[in-house]
A and B are shown apart, each in its own frame.
Chain A
Amino acid sequence: MSDQLLYAMEAGLNGLMAGVMYSLVALGFVLIFKASGIFNYSQGVLALFAALTLVGFQQGQVPFAHLINTIFGTDLDNFGWTLPAVVAIVLTAAVMVLLAVLIEKLVLQHLVNQAPIILFMATIGLAYFLEGLGDIMWGADIKTLDVGLPQGINETVESVTDSLFGYGFFIDNLDIVATVVAALLVVSLTLFSQYSKQGRALRAVADDHQAALSVGISLRFIWVLVWSIAGFVALVAGIMWGAKSGVQFSLSLIALKALPVLMLGGFTSIPGAIVGGLIIGMGEKLFEFYIGPMIGGATENWFAYVLALLFLVFRPQGLFGERIIERV
């Protein structure tokens, strides 16, 4: 096999893995959009907030330390303990559920029956609020997130490909973990929505509020449930992205990468979010590899958006979308 092709294969494979990371973020959007027709602008910030909280718990940071110190003149900073990763993750998941309850109580409940654009605006507000809250609670410095996920080159892949093609592929262990986690997440979410009682209720609410009420479904419970799940998905995305590039406030911008994924896959399809992510991840790497050198490189910055634009022109509902989205 020619070197060129091998390099392309490696780039494509890495692209697939990167795509999984995009899919993780896109998944959170799809869940909320499906269940309530809300385009949740704050999904990226949810991931950031989850990652910040996770690191904070793990390192025994005192929440609101700076604020408390300023008001009371104390000098708090750290509880002086470190929590095991599993405990910190469970605690953070609990915080995300609490957040879902609060969002429903303080925001959504008061906006029932409002136009989707109003709800969209509310989530923009929520995004900035959460960003500020994360800042006040845990500080603005860049943190490293380490929950013990393997990182660095995967030796097995390298040696296998080396013996097969005479060239060892570089695949990051973290990307492999992310792929497995994403697969598990999608399978369990699909099982949940297709076969569980709450999943059926969730699909019912997504379809018709009145009818859902008439068969005894509590809308508020479903909304809390769906925001909790979205919060959990955000936590997973936050862990993966945080482990990859550190927990910093630009993490919330991963939401922007999820947008083209959604346009490709469709706003209402869970498998669509995954496939869309994979196509964009692999597409942008291969495009950079083959076309990039001809036009001066740095195509990864815009390739996804151009692809999304093309989709908007020719297939606005995305690959797996149920119908043309008239709401966003």
Chain B
Amino acid sequence: MNAMNTDGYTTADGRRIGPVLMEMKNITLRFGGVRAITDISFDIREGEIRAIIGPNGAGKSSMLNVISGFYVPQEGEVWFRGERRGPMRPYQVARLGIARTFQNIALFDGMSVLDNIMTGRLTRMKAGLLSQAIWWGVAEKEETANREKVEKIIDFLEIQNIRKTPVGRLPYGLKKRVELARALAAEPMLLLLDEPMAGMNVEEKEDMCRFILDVNDEFGTTIALIEHDMGVVMDLSDRVVVMDYGKKIGDGTPDEVRANPDVINAYLGVAHD
């Protein structure tokens, strides 16, 4: 580990940001001949809200999928907690303590809100198949303990009144919130949010912003999120990576990024050559 990993910084509002939690080194991802991501490096620090922004098709979602193990990059290294991560399947990444939400909401529509959030606890449950069958009591105790954690999250995200509702019946904004709850239930070290505000109205967006800030504040969860709406992100995040056409064109605090001419070009639609 280098010296950078041990230090940190303090934000303007007084939050302490810790050492590097995850580091992406020279990531390149290709689909056949198409390059989705070209040679991108950046890091995510403990306790930070880190945003990845860029116009549509910039490769943001691909990047998130690399972090969560859904895509395996052809080149580059992924480092997590000071160790290099080998090629892993998504469920293995989840077990490492990296939870995520999806741009197009991936919930279990047939299950209740409560059951959906309980699936988030699966990685936290120890009792095996046989022991559950034989020592029913142990499994039951574990279930109760997990229920308590889940209820806390339900309270936190203010979805008590829909606990028993099948998820399929919920409106879009609430589904997004349930998905966030499920990800939180895993008590992740790193929470990945894929366009958490997409398709929401102003009020829902404000709610979601508040929840993201609260999660970070209350649980100290490190959050990496993707957005293409620049306004939202700038208020929310500590540091921002800007992508365009699969390349990194900016990286820094919101103010630094805002002043970056490449970023302005990408967003104001100056012609690419």
Contact = CB atoms under 8 A, between A and B. Distances in A.
Interface string B161-201: 00000000000000000000011001000000000000000
B91 A213 contact: yes
B207 interface: no
A200 B106 contact: no
A210 interface: yes
A204 B94 contact: no
A240 interface: no
Interface residues on B, range: 20 to 34
What DSSP secondary structure best describes chain A's contact surface? helix
Nearest to B100: A214
A162 interface: no
A203 interface: yes
B234 interface: no
B261 interface: no
Contacts of B107: 207-208, 211
Contacts of A219: 91
A218 B129 contact: no
A155 interface: no
Contacts of B80: none
B90 A214 contact: yes
Contact of B68 (A197, A203, A208, A214): A214
Contacts of B16: none
B109 A207 contact: yes
Nearest to A213: B90
Contact of A216 (B70, B94, B118, B129): B94
A203 B182 contact: no
Interface string B98-113: 0110100011111100
Contacts of B123: 215-216
B110 A207 contact: yes
B41 interface: no
A201 interface: yes
Interface string B16-40: 0000000000000000000000000
B132 interface: yes
Contacts of A207: 107-111
Contact of A322 (B110, B120, B127): B110
Contacts of B89: 213, 218
Interface in A197-245: 197-198, 200-201, 203-204, 206-208, 210-219, 225
A195 B144 CA distance: 11
A301 interface: no
A314 to B, nearest CB: 24
Interface in B62-77: 68, 70
B95 A211 contact: no
Interface residues on A, range: 20 to 34
Contacts of B251: none
Nearest to A209: B106
Contacts of B95: 216
Contacts of B183: 214
A213 B108 contact: no
Contacts of A190: none
A214 B108 contact: no
B122 A218 contact: no
A69 interface: no
A200 B91 contact: no
B216 interface: no
A196 interface: yes
A211 B106 contact: yes
B119 interface: yes
B127 A197 contact: yes
B206 interface: no
A298 B18 CA distance: 79
Interface of B: 68, 70, 89-92, 94-95, 99-100, 102, 106-111, 115, 118-120, 122-123, 125, 127, 129, 132-133, 139, 143, 182-183, 186
Interface of A: 195-198, 200-201, 203-204, 206-208, 210-219, 225, 322
Given A196-B139, A214-B90, 7 more contacts: A198-B129, A200-B115, A204-B108, A207-B108, A210-B106, A214-B99, A214-B102
17 contacts: A197-B132, A198-B129, A198-B132, A203-B108, A203-B111, A207-B108, A208-B106, A208-B108, A210-B106, A211-B107, A213-B90, A213-B91, A214-B90, A214-B99, A216-B94, A216-B95, A217-B119
